[in-house]
Structure 1
Amino acid sequence: MSMEEAEYHSKDFEWDELRQEIETDPSMRFHMLPQLDNNSTYTNSSSDCSSPSEESEAWNIFHARHATGKFFKERRYLLKEFPELMSSDEQLNVLEVGCGNGSTALPILSGNKSISVYACDCSSEALERAKEVIEDSSAGSLTNRFHPFIWDFSMNNRFPSCLPSPVDFVTLIFTLSAVPLHRMPTAIASCFSVLKPGGLLLFRDYGLYDMTMLRFGPDKKLGFREYLRSDGTHSYYFCLETARDLFTRAGFDEVELEYCCIKSVNRRNCKTMKRVWIHGKFQKPK
């Protein structure tokens, strides 16, 4: 196992200890404000002026800017975190929501020859990057099982006809956090609608008090735990309770839900960074 894989499968610190550290630091208080008053310079996410088309364009610019190989990191750890993707020789269909540059689709396709991946994204630029990655990494051998299409799953739950329904798995990997909070219920309902009874939604995203959250200043706060990056894209940070509520309200049963707490070392400046992710598995009732 490589160092990168080992890091993803360990728990280097307790989340409650990090929570206590952050919540007792006066300089971090603005991150915990539950509501914003009328004198605040923050913009509430429910009245955020950005439209879905503007959000898609922000992601188009993002993926065009990061089109080099250095930006791509194949998420091989997912097959260990979600062994269900490897546990069957039957023909399976996976919907990869928010496929980005293909970093999730590639290890799934490479790891199980019986899986077809239907990959959607709101960014046409992302889909082009994903197709290039799949073709270049496999000399084209995986392309017949990779089916990309453009779709914003946070707007409605009517998927295009190119998607076989129902599917066996939905993967939601670092995608839901990029959706404005008020549209998350619609996004999760979309995932629920396309899964077969007994099918699994595999979830991984940014957790509350992750290092990247603490780097935001007050002027970047859109709402409670919701921020706007300098490139115009959104970022939300989940606690277990919020994730549980969102998915169970949509009709899912909780199978697994926990914080992944990892210490990462920046070798250039020898600085230790505390990363927090949410790991979850949710099942559509049979």
Structure 2
Amino acid sequence: MSEEETRYFSKDFEWEELREEVEKDLSLRYHLLPIESSIPFSSSSSPVANQSEAWKSFHNRHSTGRFFKERRYLLKEFPELLSCHESSKVLEVGCGNGSTVLPILRGKQSIAVYACDCSKGALDRAKEMIDAADGILIKDRFHPFVCDFSLNGFPKWLVCDSCRRGSLQKYHDFPSGGNKSNEMELNELSSNRDHCCIGVLDFITLIFTLASLPFQKMPTALEDCISVLKPGGLLLFRDYGLYDMTMLRFPLEQRVGFREYTRSGGTLSCFFCLDTVRDLFVGAGFVVLELEYCCIKSVNRRNGKQMRRVWVHGKFQKPL
């Protein structure tokens, strides 16, 4: 890993200092005020409605894939993806053009990655990019499929109702902490299924995806995620943090909710504080292993202007 990549994901500034600065700036006060929308969430005219169509249009506009860069930091931030067992299964939710999938496939030559997105065009480009990548043997390891998990949940062929119930039953039967015998029982449960699905998953990666959902849909989406993980399975999370540079650039008229904004193309972006993320994941049944702000300074090469980025980093586990 290059020195530049190492610096990129260090702590470049303190989030509390940024918060204090933002909250004292009168020109940014509108970001902090409560908001009451006169448009019902379910209305088809709402700016947060039809997010699937908005994202499909977004991916069509960025069909070359240059908008996204391979997330080379991923295995450094989530080394569990390298140390997992040989038959591990990962679900990447909202994979776009494959910028998260590619480093996972590079890093672990035996791991299987299932990847969903609401845009078939994005999935097609992801497959093209991965097929063209050097040094990756992807036969039977990359499985893209169209799915808007915020609307329909995950398909039954991924994890069927029987395997979900069996996983939950094993969880309730486990003594506190779990042990190898428990894991062997769970693996036996998966191997004895009638092959109608792939069985429960070891990992879910949710990278800059949750913030694109309307806030009201986030709890159900996370409940769907935990239902397809095996006991002890991990959800690896990164998304936009409160007072990120992008948030502070949104004008007042693009606010559609508390810390929610709509871009010019109609896609949605939410900016999270740690308490909100914790409440969402704990409410869905996860155990919090790691949760922190990632505060990064970068420089715009064209104008030399310094940019302060804030992301939320998290690791969450389905209880054992």
User: 1:173 corresponds to which letter in structure 2?
Assistant: I
With 28-37 and 229-238 compared, the bigger mean Cα shift is at 28-37
The reply to whether residue 114 of structure 1 matches residue 110 of structure 2 is: yes
- Per the normalisation by structure 2, the TM-score is 0.83
CA distance in 2, matches of 1:4, 1:191: 34
With 127-136 and 177-186 compared, the bigger mean Cα shift is at 127-136
**What's the Cα RMSD here?**
2.0
With 3-12 and 186-195 compared, the bigger mean Cα shift is at 3-12
Matching residue of 1:20:
20
The reply to whether residue 262 of structure 1 matches residue 258 of structure 2 is: no
2:116 is paired with a residue of what secondary structure?
A: strand
Which string of whole-angstrom CA distances, capped at 9 and with x for unpartnered residues, describes residues 48-69 of structure 1? 7359983222111211211225
The reply to whether residue 159 of structure 1 matches residue 162 of structure 2 is: no
Which string of whole-angstrom CA distances, capped at 9 and with x for unpartnered residues, describes residues 51-94 of structure 1? 99832221112112112253231101010000000013421000
Percent of matched pairs sharing the same residue: 63
CA distance in 2, matches of 1:57, 1:13: 37
Question: Offset of 1:165 from its aligned partner?
Answer: 2.6
The reply to whether residue 178 of structure 1 matches residue 218 of structure 2 is: no
Report how many residues are paired.
Answer: 282
CA distance in 1, matches of 2:258, 2:241: 14
Match for 1:243 among 277, 288, 295? 277
Matching residue of 1:188:
222
Indicate conservation of the 8 Å contact 1:96/1:120, yes or no. yes
- Per the normalisation by structure 1, the TM-score is 0.92
Specify every segment of 5 or more residues in structure 2 that has no aligned partner in the other structure, as ranges.
160-197
Which string of whole-angstrom CA distances, capped at 9 and with x for unpartnered residues, describes residues 144-188 of structure 1? 200011111112444341452310000000000000110001111
Indicate conservation of the 8 Å contact 2:105/2:113, yes or no. yes
Which string of whole-angstrom CA distances, capped at 9 and with x for unpartnered residues, describes residues 205-236 of structure 1? 00000000011001000000000000110000
CA distance in 2, matches of 1:64, 1:108: 25
Matching residue of 2:236:
202
Matching residue of 2:182:
none
CA distance in 2, matches of 1:46, 1:13: 40
With 199-208 and 86-95 compared, the bigger mean Cα shift is at 86-95
Which structure is larger by alpha-carbon Rg, 1 or 2? 2
User: 1:33 corresponds to which letter in structure 2?
Assistant: L
Matching residue of 2:84:
88
Indicate conservation of the 8 Å contact 1:63/1:129, yes or no. no
CA distance in 1, matches of 2:89, 2:122: 21
Specify every segment of 5 or more residues in structure 1 that has no aligned partner in the other structure, as ranges.
none
Query: Within 5 Å, which residues of 2 pair with 1:1-286?
Result: 1-36=1-36, 49-50=45-46, 54-138=50-134, 141-162=137-158, 164-286=198-320
Question: Offset of 1:141 from its aligned partner?
Answer: 3.0
User: 1:58 corresponds to which letter in structure 2?
Assistant: A
1:117 is paired with a residue of what secondary structure?
A: strand
User: 2:27 corresponds to which letter in structure 1?
Assistant: S
Change (3 A) 1:48 1:251: farther
CA distance in 2, matches of 1:66, 1:123: 12
CA distance in 1, matches of 2:122, 2:78: 24
